Structure 1
Amino acid sequence: MTTLAFGLDAATYLAFCGAAVALILAPGPDTMYVLARGLDGRGPGVRSAFGIATGVLFHTLLAALGAAALFRTVPEAAAAVKYVGAAYLVYLGVTALRNDEFDPSVETDGGASFRRGVLVNALNPKVALFFLAFLPGFAGQGAGAGVRMAGLGATYAALTALYLSGVALGADRLGSRLAETRVASALNYVGAGTMLLLGVVLALE
């Protein structure tokens, strides 16, 4: 049986990669945020993608520290994360609606896209559930479990950055073509409305 550098056998690692790709490709707050920022330009889009990938490392740390046990013991903590995440999505949606001027040639957000990307992912309860519920199962118990979790988390972060950077670049190309049309403004409203809807749905789940 082939063993990888961080002590996990290849079959388990490939199974994890398959589950990770399925979750990453599923439309959700991460993808919608990167798509919206990508329409504003390549820089904001890619920065937001790497911010979200960095948020994955936060979930990895929580899993390694045993946060799943905390959430099982104190369900109010999990509920708090859910509601904060929902409120943040609504905030992003409202902000996008208020700032509806579309100009992909202007990239003045500095590190805001990266920081917001970190928060979008860190406050995403679906990602938290995957990491807290499934990561320990893939990593196993006993000696070296922390190292295995770190390796799996880094893999998930790399896959996230790769996919969402592609989304950002695609959105940038689309935004450049639509910059002088009314479709661009409509897309901004659609993206903002989707984040609002995701926030409301998340709060009601």
Structure 2
Amino acid sequence: MDAQLVAFTGVAAGMVAMPGADFTVVVRNALASRRAGVLCAFGIAAGLLVHTALAVAGVAAVLAAVPALFRALQVVGGCYVLYLGVRALRSAVRWETRPGAPGADPVAERRVGEEARAVAGGRGGGLREGFLTNALNPKASLTFLSVLPQFVPAGSPAMPRTLLLATIVVAFALLWFPAVALLVDRLGRWLREPRAARAIEGGTGAALTALGLALLAEPLFT
């Protein structure tokens, strides 16, 4: 048995399951609809494929060697995550106009909810959000670059082994994030209750805003 491969499997599972921007956008999209949540999960896996290609091509090494380029990409990624967070916070503040608000027209409320779900899931919005959230995070490329080589046995060809390890990470993402989306959708009846939905929307917005600000602030102190 390949002990290093077994060890990496545990590391990969922890890397994928660790709460962060990816997890947060999946939850937020899954609250809109199951389709949006699953599409977002696939978008994250597609983003990981980008980081895999970059690591194998050596671009990740360039990012590590050129701090200015890394910081520029970090700012772009931080701006996008911050945008998602602010949008979620604004959405939470406007929950009084959504389904379940006291005194609102039930027919109009239902229409608002249906339109929101259609926008989230019908135009590939979840797929795009998942892909951009992951692909615009340069730290993912550096993680691949720094972690994967530690599990390449001495004397073994680096590229086939690196591709295998990267495939394991992507496979975990394809299992974990759709499962999260389906679980959120399964609990959707409770999670979409006005108070719960507003709390989750506000919580995910706050988390994404904090992550975006952290990404933007880090270049200033490094």
TM-score if structure 1 supplies the norm length? Answer: 0.85
Of the candidates 2, 5, 18, which is equivalent to residue 26 of structure 1? Answer: 18
Question: What pairs with 1:110-121 in structure 2 (closer than 5 Å)?
Answer: 110-121=123-134
Distance in 2 (CA, whole Å) between partners of 1:50 and 1:140 is 31
Counterpart of 1:5? none
Counterpart of 1:57? 49
Counterpart of 1:177? 190
Where does structure 1 lack aligned partners over 5 or more consecutive residues? 3-9
For the aligned residue pairs, the C-alpha RMSD in angstroms reads: 2.2
Contact 2:30–2:37 (8 Å) recurs in 1: yes
Counterpart of 1:6? none
Q: Displacement of 1:125 after TM fit?
A: 3.5
After TM superposition, the runs of 4+ consecutive aligned structure 1 residues lying more than 6 A away are none
Contact 1:45–1:113 (8 Å) recurs in 2: yes
Q: Displacement of 1:73 after TM fit?
A: 2.5
Q: Displacement of 1:85 after TM fit?
A: 1.1
Of the candidates 78, 97, 120, which is equivalent to residue 89 of structure 2? Answer: 97
1:154 paired to 2:167:
yes
Percentage identity across paired residues of the two chains:
40
TM-score if structure 2 supplies the norm length? Answer: 0.79
Contact 1:44–1:107 (8 Å) recurs in 2: no
* Local SS of the residue matching 2:187: helix
1:38 paired to 2:30:
yes
Q: Displacement of 1:95 after TM fit?
A: 2.3
Q: Deviations over 1:92-118 (max 9, x none)?
A: 112223445573783443212112211
Contact 1:46–1:165 (8 Å) recurs in 2: yes
Which of the two has higher C-alpha Rg? 2
- Could you tell me which amino acid in structure 1 is paired with residue 9 of structure 2? C
Q: Displacement of 1:156 after TM fit?
A: 0.5
Q: Displacement of 1:66 after TM fit?
A: 1.0
Counterpart of 2:72? 80
Q: Return closer, same or farther for 1:46/1:188 CA change in 2, 3 Å cut-off.
A: same
Q: Displacement of 1:69 after TM fit?
A: 2.7
Query: Which sits farther off after the overlay, 178-187 or 20-29?
Result: 178-187
Q: Return closer, same or farther for 1:23/1:143 CA change in 2, 3 Å cut-off.
A: closer
Q: Displacement of 1:141 after TM fit?
A: 7.5
Where does structure 2 lack aligned partners over 5 or more consecutive residues? 93-97, 100-112
